[in-house]
Chain A
């Protein structure tokens, strides 16, 4: 299992595979095993990891990302020694932290002090080492005043702080962290990141699994993108994040299309004038349902006019999912005169730089007469598009064009 690695490598993983066998009928009792013992059991195989190879250098801040079920956690658990791999080689140079989450073994009924000793022992420290580091652990957690209280009285943020503090002091050459930044306030997250950086500067390796793209881009030296248990990309974190976003968009696209197909909007009223559908197009004119903030969105409104309609007015509306009416322009207010429509056709409504932040938005399309009194067809919030944003610092719904001025 263990092989000599080049001295500058912290971890080398070669052709690692792991398959879980998921029985269709789970037998969890002796009684069940006795009854079903003779039957051949059917099962499914889940290939959590499929021929994964990569290596991590010493002193690297290494990010792992991927969708749920892509094999991130399985990979980490194998590295930590919790799972054993089916095939493949793992060489580890240095002492790796055996834990994925913070505060393992924490007991709410014990005091902060007892929990530090318990947790640190579980993480592999000796009593002497803990005695030496105790003050430093307490100082880092900023919980001096509460250290003799039972931790069930701590807030979750305080518990995380304590746990992180112990973990940082566990003194491992390679640190594994699974979604540890998901809890705790921004201040503390910042502190954690700084601590990771310090760790790295000491020549130690940090492996971080996170969904926080901003952190990944900003701090990681390299990133590994997993998809369905295989390596999709390994290298530059920005590129990995980009690919991951694209992947997400594509998956979302497929999901929304499927949703759309279940509903049919084409209804024809007695008016004989109907909107037969709305497509959203990107800059290249390709149909899309997911856009990123700032990119152009074109809504192509298809209609079928069985009889000639003089001077029609097309209108649209955009609502948030909470029902807030964001905008409602129509062709009349936009000073576009359409002489008539007859037969099948379409009209394009384009937002050059869409101002929306991440979220889902409802789209309404309608055809009116010139006086905007008779709705020939009106599809109220019948269409949806989605915005994904890479900008983490978004407040509100809209990204407005703006600038600041200070009196000089």
Chain B
């Protein structure tokens, strides 16, 4: 209403840093835990599926790298959305006892996931060295743009769901189930080419599957989506971001009352 906070950036940064400190006790060793989870998942899946999706059967090269990138990207998405969704509820004091811009709280909660994803890039580079794989410059650029797209997706999703979770507490459980479905509905452990053409179209409607599929295509096979597809996707993403801001503004007024 009458409040202006001039230090948005610092507020977001401090909140994110606090989250990080509390989660990993401020140590580098703590960070190891953050990467261990996707890495463990990767190991299990690699062990199980590498023989199934043998390049000789499916024509997919560098399965390990594909799998790793898929898992890292999906973890970025799933952890980010979960943290964003629960941000307001878990910091209820900051909503009901003080006025700070609520979007700062929401955005701050997604920063952690982004930081961990950035650090995970090192692991990906390490794997590329081990498997002696050199992606093209264009495909690396594509990968970075894709990561930004995921982040926009995460923030937009969080802006809508964080206020909604205050009213509908079961949203969290529903989303937990949905994310594990989405994981298998995305071409992470399998290549999209394995599926029949009409199923592929449906799968690609899921934005995270869309991003992961085309990132893998770009990095591994140096094949890029056609420009029309890219334009449609970016437009849709920006439209979603716009809608999320509008919805957030609508909910914002009543957030404290519903808490």
Residues of A with Cβ closer than 8 Å to B? Answer: 1-2, 20, 28-31, 33, 77-78, 80-84, 90, 92, 96, 98-101, 104-105, 107, 109-110, 114, 117-118, 121-127
Contacts and interface: CB of A to CB of B under 8 A. Distances in A.
A124 B97 contact: no
Interface residues on B, range: 20 to 34
Given A98-B100, A101-B97, A121-B11, A28 B169 contact: yes
Contacts of B174: 30
A82 B91 CA distance: 14
Contact of B7 (A77, A90, A125): A125
B177 to A, nearest CB: 12
Interface string B91-104: 10111111110000
B13 to A, nearest CB: 9
B256 interface: yes
Given A124-B7, A126-B7, A114 B2 contact: no
A47 to B, nearest CB: 14
Interface string B163-178: 0000111110010000
29 contacts: A20-B257, A28-B169, A30-B171, A77-B96, A80-B3, A80-B98, A81-B2, A82-B99, A83-B256, A83-B257, A84-B1, A84-B254, A90-B1, A98-B5, A99-B98, A99-B99, A101-B97, A101-B98, A104-B97, A105-B93, A105-B94, A105-B98, A107-B18, A107-B22, A114-B18, A122-B11, A124-B7, A125-B7, A127-B10
Interface in B1-56: 1-3, 5-7, 10-11, 14-15, 18, 21-22
Contacts of A80: 3, 98-99
Contacts of A126: 6-7, 10
Given A80-B99, A99-B98, A109 B22 contact: yes
Is chain A's interface secondary structure helix, strand, loop, or mixed overall? loop
A101 B5 CA distance: 18
Given A31-B170, A98-B3, A122-B98, 12 more contacts: A1-B1, A30-B168, A78-B1, A101-B98, A104-B97, A105-B91, A105-B94, A110-B18, A118-B14, A118-B15, A121-B10, A124-B100
Interface of B: 1-3, 5-7, 10-11, 14-15, 18, 21-22, 91, 93-100, 167-171, 174, 253-254, 256-257
A90 B169 contact: no
Contact of A84 (B94, B96, B253): B253
A393 B3 CA distance: 41
